[in-house]
């Protein structure tokens, strides 16, 4: 007989796991349960267990972002219970058990995996949540298989003939010019946790959160677009992991069915359901499940919009698609809160000329779409991502006045000693809040994490001081094409706060994976309050 001795909410459990709150008799027991749950999670998910969810939910006060450890603790034991009960029932009733399991990918879905890999082949192996995933004709996604250099380097390295000293130096230099874009404030927090707080767990959580890293987030988002969702289906159609749902009989009808099967098992009776009856119920439950999930998403969006209406929020997002008309933004956390993606039309931001489409030369040798144009199986996919390897340059003429005490722009002096401004558009650096770290450096960090070699990880992140790290990041910018001849600020004031031209010409560019800052508010569209940029 199991009896309940205490009642806690998620916030109270989170405080206990963080060594906060009132210490009572079962304080240590809860912490021990959490340690066991971490082991169970690693056995179940392997490398994916290092990842952390990113969610923005205004419908609850104890959202998963505030109580990650508590949610992880409860989730793991629920999964264990569901798997255990599912195994017992399927062994007893064989075919007549409704399990909750994702469908296998169809042939076209498996082709999409390959197409996805060819579009994201460099960053695919960096995805913590997809480590050890098998892709037909490609192999396994693994950090050990990540290429730390462009394809032509490996073709040369595969040659048995010895490399000259000059060739080896060129290869090393090229490898050192390959970068992974990381949000500046995220990298700063990682270094702070390791060098100042000595909190390696918090650093690992940030390192392994795919959705907060630009390139990894967009690759994972595209993967999830064709990944099958879990559905109710008969156990005879599932060969492994016969997971059932039975922990919420008051809110899910399928749980009541499983409870009846449990009673039949305990009483030694036959199943109370016919196969055809359960199959019809599963089909009906799948229809209701989709309606419930859609309704839940719409409710979350409405609550978010109601909040944004009076309190707009500034988000950091990643450009997922660019075209001559607009650019789309993926905002981590909001992908599970909004029904539509966020788009910004160039016609709505007062551009002064038609946007220009050109080839994106930032990290050119590390372009995700290299060497795929000749692949017949990728032709259609590349057609749908026509601008995936391009950038859109946008120009403005605006009145801009600096809030800074010092204006960095220098005046132009003509022959009459009169300050003038050329009619040339000043290029604004588009990656202001992005740090470019060496691909080899980030790969080695992930290897230390997956090996749980935290001493080596601390050494890797602490070998240089934060100031030295920042200096190295500044040197890395020199290899970014859009950084050359660019500035970080423009103003109509050019010297001593003298205004010589109210309308200053400037330009910037947008490309796939670029981090942008956007303010979200809300507006009624078709009579429904909706979040808008």
pLDDT of residue 330: 95
Domain-embedded: residue 524: no
Domain-embedded: residue 499: no
Q: Is the pLDDT of residue 466 over 80?
A: no
pLDDT band at 497 (very low <50, low <70, confident <90, very high): low
Q: Tokens 């995936």, residue?
A: 388
Domain-embedded: residue 373: no
pLDDT of residue 498: 60
**Count of structural domains, the chain:** 1
Question: In 3D, which of 41, 51, 200 has the Cα closest to residue 126?
Answer: 51
How does pLDDT run across 58-80, given as a tens digit for each residue?
A: 777 667 778 888 999 999 999 99
For residues 323-345, give the mean pLDDT.
Answer: 91
**Angstrom distance (rounded) from CA 295 to CA 301:** 10
Task: Give 3's DSSP letter.
Answer: -
pLDDT of residue 463: 77
Q: Which pair of structure tokens corresponds to residue 159?
A: 């040659």
Domain-embedded: residue 61: yes
Beta-bridged to residue 426, according to DSSP, are: 506
How does pLDDT run across 289-313, given as a tens digit for each residue?
A: 999 999 999 999 999 999 999 999 9
For residues 97-104, give the mean pLDDT.
Answer: 84
Domain-embedded: residue 409: no
Domain-embedded: residue 82: yes
For residues 130 and 156, which has the higher predicted lDDT (pLDDT)?
Answer: 130
**Angstrom distance (rounded) from CA 299 to CA 136:** 39
How does pLDDT run across 242-297, given as a tens digit for each residue?
A: 889 998 888 889 999 999 999 999 999 999 999 999 999 999 999 999 999 999 99
* Mean of pLDDT over the chain: 82
**Angstrom distance (rounded) from CA 250 to CA 245:** 12
pLDDT band at 174 (very low <50, low <70, confident <90, very high): low
For residues 165 and 404, which has the higher predicted lDDT (pLDDT)?
Answer: 404
Burial of 445 (0-12, 13-18, 19+ CB in 10 A): buried
Q: Is the pLDDT of residue 370 over 70?
A: no
- Whether residue 447 contacts residue 144, with contact meaning beta carbons closer than 8 Å, is answered with yes
Domain-embedded: residue 92: yes
- Catalogue the E-assigned strands of 1-71: none
Domain-embedded: residue 353: no
By residue range, what is the domain housing residue 83?
Answer: 10-104+241-304
pLDDT of residue 67: 87
Q: Is the pLDDT of residue 155 over 50?
A: no
């Amino acid at each position: 007989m199991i009896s309940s001795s205490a009642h806690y909410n998620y916030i109270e459990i989170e405080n206990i796991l963080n060594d906060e709150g009132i210490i009572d008799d079962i304080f240590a027991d809860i912490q021990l349960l959490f340690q066991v749950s971490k082991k169970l999670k690693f056995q179940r998910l392997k490398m994916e267990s290092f990842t952390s969810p990113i969610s923005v939910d205004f419908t609850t006060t104890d959202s998963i972002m505030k109580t990650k450890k508590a949610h992880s603790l409860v989730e793991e034991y629920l999964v264990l219970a569901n798997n255990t009960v599912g195994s017992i029932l399927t062994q007893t009733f064989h075919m007549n058990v409704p399990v909750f399991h994702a469908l296998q990918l169809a042939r076209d879905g498996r082709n999409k995996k390959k197409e996805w890999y060819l579009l994201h082949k460099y960053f695919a192996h960096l995805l913590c949540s997809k480590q050890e995933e098998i892709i037909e004709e490609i192999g396994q996604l693994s950090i050990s298989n990540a290429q730390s250099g462009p394809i032509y380097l490996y073709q040369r390295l595969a040659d048995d003939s010895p490399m000259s000293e000059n060739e080896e130096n060129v290869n090393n230099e090229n490898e050192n010019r390959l970068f992974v874009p990381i949000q500046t404030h995220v990298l700063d927090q990682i270094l702070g946790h390791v060098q100042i707080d000595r909190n390696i767990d918090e650093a690992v959580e940030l390192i392994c959160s795919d959705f907060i890293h630009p390139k990894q987030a967009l690759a994972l988002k595209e993967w999830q677009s064709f990944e099958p969702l879990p559905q109710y289906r008969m156990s005879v159609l599932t060969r492994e992991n016969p997971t059932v749902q039975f922990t919420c009989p008051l809110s899910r009808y399928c749980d009541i069915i499983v409870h009846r099967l449990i009673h039949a098992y305990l009483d030694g009776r036959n199943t109370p359901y016919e196969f055809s009856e359960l199959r019809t119920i599963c089909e009906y439950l799948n229809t209701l499940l989709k309606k419930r999930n859609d309704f839940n998403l719409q409710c979350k969006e409405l609550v978010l919009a109601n909040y944004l209406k009076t309190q707009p929020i500034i988000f950091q997002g990643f450009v997922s698609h660019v075209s001559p008309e607009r650019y789309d933004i993926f905002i981590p956390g909001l992908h599970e809160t909004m029904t539509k993606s966020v788009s910004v039309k160039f016609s709505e931001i007062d551009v002064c000329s038609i946007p220009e489409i050109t080839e994106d030369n930032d990290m050119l040798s590390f372009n995700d779409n290299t060497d795929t144009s000749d692949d017949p199986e990728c032709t259609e996919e590349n057609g749908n991502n026509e601008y995936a390897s391009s950038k859109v340059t946008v120009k403005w003429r605006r009145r801009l006045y600096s809030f800074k005490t010092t204006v960095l722009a220098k005046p132009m002096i003509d022959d009459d000693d009169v300050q003038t401004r050329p009619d040339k558009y000043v290029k604004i650096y588009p990656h202001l809040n992005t740090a470019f770290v060496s691909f080899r450096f980030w790969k080695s960090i992930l290897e230390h994490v997956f090996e749980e070699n935290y001493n080596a990880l601390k050494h890797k992140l602490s070998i240089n001081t934060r100031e030295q790290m920042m200096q190295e990041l500044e040197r890395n910018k020199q290899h970014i094409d859009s950084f050359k001849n660019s500035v970080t600020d423009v103003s109509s004031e050019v010297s001593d706060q003298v205004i010589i031209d109210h309308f200053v010409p400037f330009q910037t560019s947008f490309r796939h994976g670029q981090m942008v800052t956007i303010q979200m508010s809300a507006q009624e569209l078709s009579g429904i309050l909706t979040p808008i940029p």
